[in-house]
Structure 1
Amino acid sequence: MNPEKQVFDVIGIGLGPFNLGMAALLDPVEDVSALFLEKEEEFNWHPHMLIEGTTLQVPFFADLVSMADVTSEHSFLNYLQQHNRLYHFYFLEKFHIPRKEYNHYCRWVSERLNSCQFGSEVTHVTTIPVEGETVYQVTAEELQTGREYRYLAKHIVMGIGTEARVPEAFQPALGESVFHTSEYLARKPECDLAQSVAVIGSGQSAAEVFLDVAKHQEETGGSLEWYTRSPGFFPMEYSKLGLEYFSPDYIDFFYELPQAKKDQLLNEQDLLYKGISSETIAEIYDHLYERTVGNADPGIHLQAMTELKEMEQQGEKFRLNGYQKVTGEPVKVEAEVVILGTGYQPRVPAFFQGLKDFMVWDEHGRFVVNKGYDLETRLQTAGEIFIQNGELHTHGVGAPDLGLGAYRNAVIINQIADREVYSVEEKHVFQTFGTKKQSVPIY
């Protein structure tokens, strides 16, 4: 063991965009000491979904820092300037940047920050007394050497992200030919060789994978099927007033609701964050239209309102059984490769097992998250455990949205510093989510 003696003000676990954004916003804050640990050797954001031609679904202002501090040297615009690309971007005239460029931008920021330590896997988090104060002890393994280190911190920020969600019935079949969309580019050779591919799910990732496979099969032949249990292949809500749901104002409204009402609302708001971009739908439709000129059969089948519940392997193929949800008719699908666009889910990391009994859980086994993004616990510490993108059920649809990452980081940083480091303004939208405050006349 080689324990660190310094007590950091905050240790961040995981370096996705949200914790990387916090590291960037803390970089100029001299009175807050921070360390961010990541098990991967370098920053890479959904590397197997960096499909050629895909873009972010939010404007470039949703970079790591700009929505909290447009003057930051870690902004996307400064990245462009440092790479001599400002005029290229100016002439591009697009708000939604290539996903590949966003990843390169984040890597650039991560390499500029001394607080970011890659190749360090956190294995255990507990609390210990230090000079009369209870602090967090974070144990991490340096993967290149196998050495173990212990770090101390007043606060913890979990930024480990979500994990791929795979229905239980499909889990035994997972492998080279049955996989989640998050593995797509790594598994693409299997798709290229297959003569029959099935895609399940109707979110953005499923749509992008479907289109990429369709373009390849135009040259190689074969069949491609796309199924979803949703009512249709619908676009994500992207109207200007609809986008106001991804604002601090809506968080304020949503957080105060009873939990039962929150869960009900989230079930009704799928298309705010689970649909397909209109641009991707248009590109898919244009592709299908061109492939069917002269009544040609492209070997492509799309079917909504269909739930596939069972999977079994038969030789080189997989058979999926299900039913059409409206008519009740049985559905049987055969494919050599099955790609699951079945979304993501929160996870409780293994390194928190020692603290699990001190956490407060709701009736559905989820974290109880306070308004300031700190977890409700029974720990006897002065510091907090903050969470990034694990508060959908408490703070609403904006939890995974890149555009709210800087705002959430500003809220958390102000609590860690115990002062207003970044201004957190009120009233960002034109609409009122609750009710207008009435002035009562006095007679």
Structure 2
Amino acid sequence: MTNAITDINHTGADEAIYDFIGIGLGPFNLSLACLAEPLPNLRCLFLEKKEAFGWHTGMLIDGTTLQNPFLADLVSLADPTSRFSYLNYCKQQGRLYTYYVRENYYLTRQEYDRYCKWAAAQLRNVRYRRNVLDIHYDASLPGYVIAGVDTHNGTPFRYRTRRLVIGIGSEPRLPDCCEGLRGGSRGPIHTANYLAHKSWLQQQRVITVVGSGQSGAEVYYDLLRDCDLYGYTLNWVTRAPRFFQMETAKLTLEFLLPAYIGHFQRLDDAAKRRATQGQRAIHSGINKTLIDRIYDLLDETRHRPGLRTQLMPNLALTACTLDDSGKRFALTFEHNELPERYRHVTDALVMATGYTHRIPPFVRGIHDRIRWDAVGQYVQAEDYAVDITGNEIYVQNAGFEGGITNPDLGLACHRNARLIHAMTGVDTYRAETRTTFQDFSPRADSGFTRFGALPPSSHATSRHASTHRRGWDIAADGVANDAMSDAADGSVDTPRR
């Protein structure tokens, strides 16, 4: 099989020319690696900076689950017969019958992480500890030369490839008012690093969680369970008008299927932003089960003398500094509905403010081969290519082209099937022709006859603009600025049930 890689000592210069090299190994590129593995004429390699596969280890809280059913695994929605499916994982682990009896279609995050590790361990075309530092175009190949160093021993490496698939994920986002404290000895703790700091947090007198997405709710609930045991005061604050539920009606979930991607990609940028704004409750809310658990726990423990907790919506964080002691956080909030400002001092600050897409430094050498928009973001084609030729550089889960579907684990297989089709010209994993019952624009045989076009300005009416009040704005990458769905790489707050 041609993708059984020959890489002498896994270091130095590998003179093979690969059909494509994937940079980064999160769930999306891992899915691509699994779908590419059985294809004998596709020679590929995946480079990962970490020592081993790890999926949001800071948020693998006991009992937390994915928002997607188990069929949204690495391969099943493209190839349910694949040996990398979750059901085959259960079979190989001797757990298929217990899973059958359990009747739980939603994996815990810890279980999903174990499953991904199992799949990654079977791949021979993954190289860990590969820190990519530079990429440049070599017209003589034609293709790209990737250079970097082994993070363990500093040994340089070099690989050559016809195409690139960048899947490096995203980085924790902090509000602008907190950026001055990033990286310091006393900075806010992002939910991405929650478990590493949990023991320290529980030794503090006052803990404040800011942000009301799924991750914020999970951290609040985890801390609430031990609130009276440790005796800390626990605050949960959001600038959203309420702690709202993720929308999971079945017709709504059709907006997370391939048919809607095709419709969304045909919209202009302004329409895409309006559409994403209207779909906020699909990807930025809290699942109903968790909201109910929080409420029930609050009710069950309300009479305990040691329980001190508050939930406060409609408060926008506008300033974050250290107090005079240099040990506590001095926060300023503004109320969204009242003309009032508040000061709050807390010993620990946990930010559930999501993730942001980042442009990796190693693309500097190929900057002129990538299409960029006016604000410096990738311009993606419908098959997720971002290069000027349209068939050399692909990016996973970045850019605005996919809207709220970008971080959804359930769409990974569909996207990767399209990537493989684009790179090989062969539709190996053929998509279903119709994936939704609703039509997002009238079909030719629908009886709705198109007789004219509206000018673009006619779409931007006041009814759209009225939703853009403070606390509901959508950032340029389509992610809600509050209740941020920690989902920029599809890994934490996946927009699903």
1:204 maps to 2:214 = yes
Distance 1:59 1:383 in 2: 32
SS in 1 for 2:226: helix
- Report the Cα offset of residue 425 of structure 1: 2.1
Report if aligned partners of 1:49, 1:183 keep a CA contact under 8 Å in 2.
yes
Distance 1:383 1:129 in 2: 15
- Report the Cα offset of residue 383 of structure 1: 4.5
SS in 2 for 1:397: helix
**Structure-1-length-normalised TM-score:** 0.95
Q: Out of 340, 357, 374, which is 1:329 matched to? A: 340
SS in 1 for 2:202: helix
Q: Out of 348, 362, 366, which is 1:355 matched to? A: 366
- Report the Cα offset of residue 231 of structure 1: 1.3
Distance 1:209 1:3 in 2: 45
Report if aligned partners of 2:74, 2:413 keep a CA contact under 8 Å in 1.
yes
What does residue 433 of structure 2 align with? 426
In 2 relative to 1, CA 270–30 (structure 1 residues): closer, same or farther, beyond 3 Å? same
Distance 1:144 1:28 in 2: 30
| Amino acid of the structure 2 residue aligned with 1:240 | K
- Report the Cα offset of residue 426 of structure 1: 1.9
Distance 1:151 1:355 in 2: 15
SS in 2 for 1:435: coil
Correspondence list, 1:192-341, <5 A: 192-293=202-303, 298-314=307-323, 315=325, 316-341=327-352
Distance 2:396 2:448 in 1: 41
Q: Deviations for 1:283-327, whole angstroms, at most 9, x for unmatched residues?
A: 111111111148x57211111111011112122321100211111
Q: Deviations for 1:326-354, whole angstroms, at most 9, x for unmatched residues?
A: 11211221110000001111110011112
Q: Which shifted more, 135-144 or 407-416?
A: 135-144
Report if aligned partners of 2:245, 2:288 keep a CA contact under 8 Å in 1.
yes
| Amino acid of the structure 2 residue aligned with 1:313 | L
SS in 2 for 1:193: coil
Report if aligned partners of 1:190, 1:337 keep a CA contact under 8 Å in 2.
no
In 2 relative to 1, CA 232–5 (structure 1 residues): closer, same or farther, beyond 3 Å? same
| Amino acid of the structure 2 residue aligned with 1:318 | F
Report if aligned partners of 2:202, 2:232 keep a CA contact under 8 Å in 1.
no
Distance 1:428 1:306 in 2: 40
Query: Where do 4+ consecutive residues of structure 1 move more than 6 Å?
Result: none
Distance 1:160 1:186 in 2: 22
Correspondence list, 1:69-88, <5 A: 69-88=79-98
In 2 relative to 1, CA 177–149 (structure 1 residues): closer, same or farther, beyond 3 Å? closer
1:161 maps to 2:169 = yes
| Amino acid of the structure 2 residue aligned with 1:142 | D
What does residue 111 of structure 1 align with? 121
Q: Paired residues, what number? A: 434
1:435 maps to 2:435 = no
Q: Deviations for 1:225-250, whole angstroms, at most 9, x for unmatched residues?
A: 11111111001111111111101100
Distance 2:106 2:339 in 1: 41
- Report the Cα offset of residue 172 of structure 1: 2.2
Distance 1:190 1:440 in 2: 62
Q: Deviations for 1:189-214, whole angstroms, at most 9, x for unmatched residues?
A: 22111010000001111110111111
| Amino acid of the structure 1 residue aligned with 2:79 | D
Distance 1:60 1:345 in 2: 26
Report if aligned partners of 1:176, 1:187 keep a CA contact under 8 Å in 2.
no
Q: Deviations for 1:384-433, whole angstroms, at most 9, x for unmatched residues?
A: 11111113x11221110000001100000111122111112221011111
1:120 maps to 2:130 = yes
- Report the Cα offset of residue 177 of structure 1: 5.4
- Report the Cα offset of residue 440 of structure 1: 8.6
Report if aligned partners of 1:306, 1:325 keep a CA contact under 8 Å in 2.
yes
Correspondence list, 1:21-32, <5 A: 21-32=31-42
What does residue 59 of structure 1 align with? 69
Report if aligned partners of 2:254, 2:260 keep a CA contact under 8 Å in 1.
yes
Distance 1:254 1:41 in 2: 37
In percent, how many aligned pairs have the same letter?
35
Q: Which shifted more, 360-369 or 304-313?
A: 360-369
| Amino acid of the structure 2 residue aligned with 1:408 | R
Q: Deviations for 1:16-57, whole angstroms, at most 9, x for unmatched residues?
A: 000001100111001000100000000110001000110111
SS in 1 for 2:168: coil
Report if aligned partners of 1:121, 1:142 keep a CA contact under 8 Å in 2.
yes
| Amino acid of the structure 2 residue aligned with 1:302 | L
| Amino acid of the structure 1 residue aligned with 2:341 | P
Report if aligned partners of 1:291, 1:297 keep a CA contact under 8 Å in 2.
no
1:404 maps to 2:414 = no
| Amino acid of the structure 2 residue aligned with 1:206 | G
Distance 1:139 1:216 in 2: 48
| Amino acid of the structure 2 residue aligned with 1:53 | G
Distance 2:226 2:342 in 1: 26
In 2 relative to 1, CA 440–401 (structure 1 residues): closer, same or farther, beyond 3 Å? closer
- Report the Cα offset of residue 268 of structure 1: 2.3
**Structure-2-length-normalised TM-score:** 0.85
Distance 2:152 2:171 in 1: 25
